[in-house]
Amino acid sequence: MQTMLLSILGLALLGTLHAQDSIPVQADFQQDKLTGRWYSIGLASNSDWFKEKRHLMKMCTTIISTTAEGNLEVTSTYPKGDQCVTRNSLYTKTEQPGRFSYTSPRWGSKHNIHVVETNYEEYALVATQISKSTGPSTMVLLYSRTKELSPERLEMFTQFSRGQGLTDDEILILPQTDKCMADAA
């Protein structure tokens, strides 16, 4: 009985490790080129909060900067009702360039973040695996340096999200808004 339980736990761990390895990371990742202002163009997720809030979501701005320790400070400003809300996150670098970790102080969830693909000047595709007490989830973000991206980039985002097991109901091209865009410095 104990051997079977250990085998099952081992397979579950192997599956988790395989899932982390199945998300690619940008080759020759250059962290300094990722810094600056980005717009969130697309968001895909199979989390409960996304399903509940999807209809309220709009494009937001994100400012990425590098800390003295080489981590990423990620500041997102987004509309919420009649207000602009700013959220700061510290993405801690890992041994693999282009991969970061983050633990939410509010929810205790652990985030395994991959910069999947970017050309630094136009778009960045970021995938995150989230582990929390209610179960795992996946989130994919498409960032742009401008408020619009080509249909080819939007389709790339959609196809990648589907490849991560997300359904069309879990994939959203965020509606444009001018609200809170100037508030993000």
Catalytic residue numbers?
Answer: 60
Spatial separation of the C-alpha atoms in residues 148 and 150, rounded to whole Å:
7
* Cβ pair 59, 147 in contact under 8 A: yes
Count of CB atoms situated within 10 Å of the CB of 106: 6
Q: DSSP label at 157?
A: H
* Cβ pair 61, 36 in contact under 8 A: no
155 three-state secondary structure: helix
